[in-house]
Amino acid sequence: MKSDPTFDRRRFPRVRSEALISIAPLDIDAALAHAIDLSIDGVRFRCVGMDAREGELLKVTFTFGERTLAVVGRILRAEWIDGVAQEVAIRFLKMSEETRRVLIESLEPLAEITSSNASRRAFTRVHVDSIVSVSRANLTDVVAQAQDVSDGGIHFVVEGLDLKLGDVLRVTFECDGAPVSAIGQLVRVTDIGDSKQEAALAFLDGDSDALGRIRGAADD
């Protein structure tokens, strides 16, 4: 298997594994929302009928001209405006360098940087008036076959799903007899049969102690 730059062998030592793992897509209950402002570290939007809750993970899909970008974030605040509408603020989780580059390039033409807002915020917030797609977690897990794992990501084979590049998944597996759960984004998907796919998932968020056990296992 070719090394993926998102979690290559030098940065993230791999542990060979053929264990069964559990994965769940984070792509159900998609809804349209009205973006208010956006920065490299988060977004604020208004939505109707979602019942968004603090701490929940959401995937937000933006369109900048011909570019489409999907970023995962955790809800910091969800306030009801009236009986059906909410204003939601999320902070983005870790993202790939390529995703960060595209987001910065898309924001730069919109930004009006002043000394006053630069001093208040580490990341300039850009006011936007656009529609974004928001989706939340699927609670139904599917069993997959791991190939190798590192504290940067995991490679696996799965049957019966239609995974696509950029999809966000929750993955659960064991390392040294202890459970590990992490959120990741697909950086490679290859069809290897009528219903099987081989995939590489780069971790975005997870228990740092649990992921550290993977590196310890690789060092051994």
**CATH fold of 6-26+138-219:** Thrombin, subunit H (2.40.10)
- What Cα–Cα distance (Å) separates residue 151 from each residue in 7, 12, 61, 86, 194? 8, 6, 26, 36, 31
Q: pLDDT 10s per residue in the chain (220 long)?
A: 334 455 555 455 666 666 677 677 665 567 788 988 888 889 999 988 788 888 888 888 888 778 888 888 889 999 999 878 999 999 998 787 888 888 888 887 766 543 334 434 445 677 777 777 777 655 567 889 988 888 888 899 998 888 888 888 888 887 777 778 888 888 999 999 788 999 999 988 766 776 676 766 655 5
Question: Strand 168-175 and strand 153-159: pairing?
Answer: unpaired
Q: Considering the entire predicted model, what is its pTM?
A: 0.60
Angle at CA 173, nearest 5°, toward 167 and 177? 165
C-alpha to C-alpha distance for 152 and 14, rounded to whole angstroms? 9
Domain boundaries, the chain: 6-26+138-219, 28-136
C-alpha to C-alpha distance for 183 and 195, rounded to whole angstroms? 24
User: Which position has the token pair 């939601």?
Assistant: 88
**CATH fold of 28-136:** Thrombin, subunit H (2.40.10)
| Within this chain, domains 6-26+138-219 and 28-136 share the same CATH topology | yes
Distance of CA 1 to the CA centre of its chain: 23
Instruction: Give the DSSP per-residue string, 92-127.
Output: E----HHHHHHHHHHHGGG----HHHHHH-SS--EE
